[in-house]
């Protein structure tokens, strides 16, 4: 048994992962958890459903790391070979674990079904290994000593793997590091511009170490402080407070994470939080995003307090009929008209949605009756078809209208495929509303024009 778990290796098992038919999300989740808990991931590996390959990988990884976490291959079928491979790797025979067999029988009894015969194999374990009960499925996990390392085998489905990791692996860890992390998110600046602004703060030899990752316009600045176990935790908090303050100072208004809030809070959560704090309401009119923005907003718990509703007006006729957009903006009605993807139509959609959204029952009154405080409209060309002269694929207008009569509209040229253009559009719309609510302003990534 190792004195400390300084380094970990993660092994995922399954032909479907090797063949690219499903994505290995377990490794990412486990690596992230381990680092947070003070065990540094050193190696990732993937093995096919092959007993000898899995056993060889287990032995190899146990020679490199103090902790090996394996996921997958614990089911009852002939291609689930992790159990046998662990027996081969440890050189032990498989024995039946009576507690586990009892639990399996009870699992099926609780569901009013007889236990299928193949499931009995799931009660087998290498002689000196321990079975880990699975509260969310039938496949029990296993833990054992292998060479100088501790090895844990967990089921493949993330909904079974994660609770088992938290219940059995986390309490068994003897971290080789004391790690504390912090993150803030930034919207509107590219990752390279963020790196440029952070400058020397991102030097690899710094402590805390500062790094960035980017996804759909959102840049996450991560700060990590590491020390030997036993270092005073106050030192970590002080060092992270100082570096976070400096990050906020250097990136200014582009930082969207409120002070003291968790750094993984997304843009929809931030915007809904700001609307709730201010007691404001929102309506949405979408064209090329087809409801994506509404979906992002309504995924946030508590959004019902602020989100009145919205429209997906895909055709010009719907934009005119539902939102009151003047039909003479459309070329089929007037030649030379600006068309659906224009500042005129975008602003008319936003204003139409804001005014037409009901925030009180018919005939009712009270604050907010007759329209919302804010509205967002999106109209653009997501591609791959639909480009016209002067309007390439990725051209998107995003508009805001407020109860006080203020409006704003910006044109963007987003890159990427249809899905990317739609994601960028919805995120950028939220970014614009956040700036409006925060009373800040900046030119955004991929922005080409703004009105007024």
- Please check whether residue 380 is in contact with residue 288, taking contact to mean a CB–CB distance below 8 angstroms: yes
Closer to ligand ATP at the Cβ: 71 or 90?
71
**Which one, 156 or 268, has the nearer CB to ligand ATP?**
156
Write down the least CB distance from residue 49 to ligand ATP, Å.
8
Choice between 85 and 272, CB closer to ligand ATP: 85
**Cα(first)–Cα(last) distance of the chain, in Å?**
68
Residue 3 neighbours by CB distance under 10 Å: 9
Q: Are 276 and 302 in contact (CB under 8 A)?
A: yes
* Distance from C-alpha of 125 to C-alpha of 135, rounded to nearest angstrom: 18
Torsion angles phi and psi, residue 50, rounded to 5: -140, 120
Task: Give the chain's length.
Answer: 452
Look up tokens 């090996």; give the residue.
68
Per-residue binding letters, 365-394, with ligand ATP (x by CB under 6 A)? ------------------------------
Would you count residue 141 as binding ligand ATP (CB under 6 A)? Answer: no
Tell me if 46 sits within 8 A of 11, measured CB to CB: yes
Select 94 or 209, whichever has its Cβ closest to ligand ATP: 94
Among 38, 155, 310, 399, binds ligand ATP (CB under 6 A): 155
Measured distance CA(58)–CA(68) in Å, rounded: 8
H or E stretch covering 207: none
Strand partners, 187: 218
Q: Minimum Å distance from CB 132 to ligand ATP?
A: 12
Residues 6+ apart with CB under 8 A from 444: 188, 410, 412, 428, 431, 432
Q: Which stretch binds ligand ATP (CB under 6 A): 73-81, 191-199, 268-276, 310-318?
A: 73-81
At its nearest, how many Å lie between ligand ATP and the CB of residue 348? Answer: 46
Q: Using the rule CB under 6 A, is 137 a contact of ligand ATP?
A: yes
Of 11, 14, 142, 303, the one binding ligand ATP by CB under 6 A: 14
Q: x/- string (CB under 6 A) for ligand ATP, residues 23-42?
A: -xxxx---------------
Q: Which residue is nearest to ligand ATP (CB)?
A: 156
Question: Do residues 80 and 108 touch, judged by C-beta distance below 8 A?
Answer: no
In the complex, the smallest distance separating the C-beta of residue 116 from ligand ATP, rounded to whole angstroms, is 12
Q: Give the one residue of 66, 80, 84, 88 binding ligand ATP; rule: CB under 6 A.
A: 80
| Number of Cα atoms under 13 Å in the Cβ half of residue 123 | 18
Our finding on whether 12 is near ligand ATP (CB under 6 A) is yes
C-alpha distances out from residue 441 to 217, 323, 398, 402, 433, Å = 16, 28, 15, 16, 10
Nearer to ligand ATP, 25 or 207 (CB): 25
Residues making contact with ligand ATP (CB under 6 A): 12-14, 16-17, 22, 24-27, 71-75, 80, 137, 139, 155-158
């Amino acid at each position: 048994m190792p004195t400390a778990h300084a380094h970990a290796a993660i092994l995922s098992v399954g032909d479907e992962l090797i063949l690219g038919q499903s994505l290995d999300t377990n490794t990412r989740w486990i690596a992230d958890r381990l680092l947070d808990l003070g065990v540094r991931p050193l190696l990732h590996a993937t093995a096919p459903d092959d007993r000898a390959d899995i056993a060889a990988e287990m032995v190899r990884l146990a020679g490199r790391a103090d902790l090996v976490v394996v996921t997958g291959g614990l089911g009852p079928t002939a291609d689930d070979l992790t159990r046998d491979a662990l027996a081969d790797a440890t050189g032990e025979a498989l024995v039946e674990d009576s507690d586990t067999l009892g639990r399996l029988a009870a699992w099926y009894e609780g569901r009013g079904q007889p236990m299928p015969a193949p499931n009995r194999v799931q009660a087998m374990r290498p002689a000196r290994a321990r079975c880990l009960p699975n509260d969310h499925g039938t496949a029990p996990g296993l833990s054992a000593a292998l060479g100088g390392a501790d090895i844990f085998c967990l089921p493949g489905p993330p909904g079974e793997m994660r609770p088992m990791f938290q219940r059995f692996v986390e309490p068994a860890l003897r971290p080789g590091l004391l790690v504390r992390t912090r993150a803030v998110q930034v919207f509107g600046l590219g990752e390279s511009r963020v790196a440029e602004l952070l400058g020397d703060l991102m030097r690899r030899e710094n402590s805390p170490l500062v790094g960035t990752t980017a996804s759909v316009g959102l840049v996450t600045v991560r700060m990590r402080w590491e020390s030997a176990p036993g270092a005073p935790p106050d030192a970590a908090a002080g060092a992270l407070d100082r570096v976070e303050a400096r990050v906020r100072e250097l990136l200014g208004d582009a930082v969207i994470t409120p002070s003291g809030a968790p750094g993984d809070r997304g843009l929809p959560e931030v915007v809904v939080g700001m609307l709730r704090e201010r007691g404001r309401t929102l309506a949405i009119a979408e064209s090329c995003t087809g409801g994506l923005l509404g979906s992002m907003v309504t995924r946030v718990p508590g959004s019902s307090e602020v989100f009145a509703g919205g429209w997906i007006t895909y055709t010009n006729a719907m934009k005119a009929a539902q939102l009151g957009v003047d039909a003479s903006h459309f070329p089929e009605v007037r030649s030379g008209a600006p068309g659906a993807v224009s500042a005129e139509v975008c602003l008319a959609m936003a204003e139409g949605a804001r005014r037409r959204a009901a925030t009180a029952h018919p005939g009712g009154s009270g604050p907010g009756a007759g329209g919302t405080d804010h509205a967002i409209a999106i109209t653009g060309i997501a591609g791959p078809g639909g480009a016209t002269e002067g309007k390439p694929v990725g051209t998107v207008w995003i508009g805001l209208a407020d109860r006080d009569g203020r409006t704003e509209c910006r044109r963007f040229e987003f890159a990427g495929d249809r899905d990317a253009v739609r994601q960028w559009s919805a995120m950028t719309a939220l970014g614009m509303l956040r700036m409006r609510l925060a009373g800040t302003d900046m030119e955004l990534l991929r922005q080409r024009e703004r009105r007024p």
